[in-house]
Structure 1
Amino acid sequence: MKISIGLDAKQIKDNVKALSVLLADEHILYTKTRNAHWNVEGADFHAMHVFFESQYDELEEIIDEVAERIRQLGQMAPGSLKDFVQLTRLSERKLSKNDSQSFIKALLEDQESVISYIREVVAKMDDSKDFGTEDFLVGLLEKHEKMAWMLRAHL
């Protein structure tokens, strides 16, 4: 059903495209954080296992919120791994070690990439009048900044 919320079709299309890239990035970051949770080794295993779990739990909520924002704009959210791999800006790389510091550095780099992307999207939204999506993204920005801070605090 077509929605009538005061945004033109181009504004919705542009914002959904940006949200779809963000959804893919969130999903890839979630998977990489799960990998850290499963595979971290070292004397700090238990503490890091629990820490990474708290991070992927937060990302799981974010993923759902981003997909729901896309649906609120009347569009279908991408939902396949193929879609996510095609849309993401993040890359996968094999770490040389499974220690907490290696995982933390890699995840922090991705968190900072997501933060920068959200800032870029919000900066471009000034003329769109999609205040709901803009506010939503600012809230996500704050969540990612906190997650990045938590990672940084372990370095």
Structure 2
Amino acid sequence: MQQTSQGDTQTLARGDNVLEISEALNAILADVFALYMKTKNFHWHVWGPHFRDHHLLFDDQASQLLAITDEIAERVRKSGAFTLHSIGDIARRQRILDNNGKGVAAADMLEELRQDNQALVASLREAKALADRAGDNATSGLIDGWTDQAEGRAWFLLEAGRSA
């Protein structure tokens, strides 16, 4: 391992793949923030006969998303790279699209969030492959947990959508 320095932080870099892995994680972090905001948006604006169930589901999922943001950012920093700095930085990197619609039907909310979580799973799997090729076991292991959470969210959204 090569020792690197960024500012006052001393870290251990893991070879040539550090930049590639940190860029993948920063894109995932931007997507998680975008998905968090969209989930909260839907939490605040859901309506209909299953309001309470959907309102609580969206809030629970948003909390889960927010909880992993620090883990992702700290993993990037541990690798010796910098992470996101601003809302603008998130907007430039995010691949999950915003939804600024008014009056979105609950069934559409559920389906859109399910698809977004599935897209996040695909991005996580790509990042895991990078980490595995680099022998970055710590990042790979963290990604396993984040993938399981995203798959769980997608499953809950699918099942909730059957009743919407």
What TM-score, normalized by structure 2, do the two folds share?
Answer: 0.86
Residue of structure 1 equivalent to 2:131: 125
1:32 & 1:67 partners in 2: Cα distance? 20
Residue of structure 2 equivalent to 1:98: 104
Deviates more, 1:79-88 or 1:120-129: 120-129
Question: Where do 4+ consecutive residues of structure 1 move more than 3 Å?
Answer: 93-97
Deviations 1:86-140 (A, max 9, x none): 1111112444743321110111110000001111221233320111111111111
Conserved 8 A contact 1:95-1:102? no
Structure 1 residues 93 and 35: alpha-carbon distance in aligned structure 2, compared to 1, 3 A threshold: closer
Conserved 8 A contact 2:31-2:120? yes
Superposition pairs of residues 55-66 of structure 1, within 5 angstroms = 55-66=61-72
1:34 & 1:107 partners in 2: Cα distance? 11
State whether structure 2 residue 78 is matched by structure 1 residue 72.
Answer: yes
Conserved 8 A contact 1:90-1:110? yes
2:40 & 2:133 partners in 1: Cα distance? 37
Residue of structure 2 equivalent to 1:134: 140
Deviations 1:58-109 (A, max 9, x none): 0010112111111222222203110011111111244474332111011111
Residue of structure 2 equivalent to 1:4: 12
Conserved 8 A contact 2:46-2:105? yes
What TM-score, normalized by structure 1, do the two folds share?
Answer: 0.91
Structure 2 SS opposite 1:92? coil
How many residue pairs get matched? 153
Superposition CA RMSD, Å: 1.5
Residue of structure 2 equivalent to 1:81: 87
Task: Name stretches of at least 5 consecutive residues in structure 2 with no aligned partner.
Answer: 1-8
2:78 & 2:17 partners in 1: Cα distance? 14
Residue of structure 2 equivalent to 1:107: 113
Structure 2 SS opposite 1:123? helix
2:91 & 2:102 partners in 1: Cα distance? 23
Structure 1 residues 93 and 101: alpha-carbon distance in aligned structure 2, compared to 1, 3 A threshold: same
Conserved 8 A contact 2:12-2:80? no
